[in-house]
Amino acid sequence: MLEIFETVAKAAADPSRIRILKLLEQGDLCVCQITAVLGLAPATVSKHLAALKTAGLLQQRREGKWVYYRLAERELNPYARQFLGLVGGSLMDDPTVAEDRRVLAMVNAVSLQVLCDQGRAALGPNAQAPGSTACCGGSS
């Protein structure tokens, strides 16, 4: 059981992964949307998503060329619900989480195809982050 707990604890111990979990509290998101909000390379986001999924914190579904993630609804790991509850009740006033939500609102106003093609650049100058790149919808 310790190994199972450790898998979830390690997955949740990364700031970018916590940001992803906080974003997914708003509902299902495509890899392109997560990539655009975080301003990270698609490969980096995919690695974070894979770790969270392996830990039982996320579930995914494919819709055409896009892969969507959501917080786990099924109990894939006996500790996942507790971790998701802790994350859900935390960081309400965190400035990074607030900024991610602001950028997510901008992301949600852009079509997935445009977002996939242009990445964070599709959001305009108010959302640019260093190192942001376009993503491919089917990464992960």
Asked whether residue 132 is assigned to any structural domain, the reply reads: no
**DSSP code at position 67:** E
117-135 pLDDT per residue, tens: 888 888 887 665 543 334 4
Looking at the domain assignment, is residue 81 inside a domain?
yes
Does residue 33 lie in a domain region? Answer: yes
- CA neighbours within 13 Å on the CB side: how many for 25? 19
pLDDT for res 89: 93
Q: Position of tokens 């450790």?
A: 6
In a domain, residue 90? The reply is yes
Coil, strand or helix: which one is 12?
coil
**For position 126, what pLDDT does the model report?**
67
pLDDT of residue 138: 42
Number of domains in the chain: 1
Q: What is the pLDDT of residue 129?
A: 52
Edge-first strand order for the sheet with 29-30 is 29-30, 66-71, 58-63
Q: Please report the pLDDT score of residue 135 as a whole number.
A: 45
Kindly state the percentage of the chain with pLDDT values over 90.
59
Mean pLDDT of the chain: 86
Residue range of the domain that includes 54 = 2-127
Which pLDDT does position 52 carry in this prediction?
96
Q: Evaluate if pTM is beyond 0.75.
A: yes
pLDDT number for residue 118: 84
Question: Does 140 reside within a domain?
Answer: no
For 60-82, how does the pLDDT look when each residue is reduced to its tens digit (9 = 90+)?
Answer: 999 988 899 999 987 778 888 88
Higher pLDDT, 2 or 29: 29
Q: What is the pLDDT of residue 136?
A: 45
Tell whether 46 is covered by a domain: yes
Report if residue 115 sits inside a domain: yes
The CATH number covering residue 85 comes to 1.10.10.10
Mean pLDDT computed over 89-115? 93
Does residue 35 form part of some domain?
yes
Q: At what angle do helices 42-54 and 31-38 cross, to 10 degrees?
A: 120
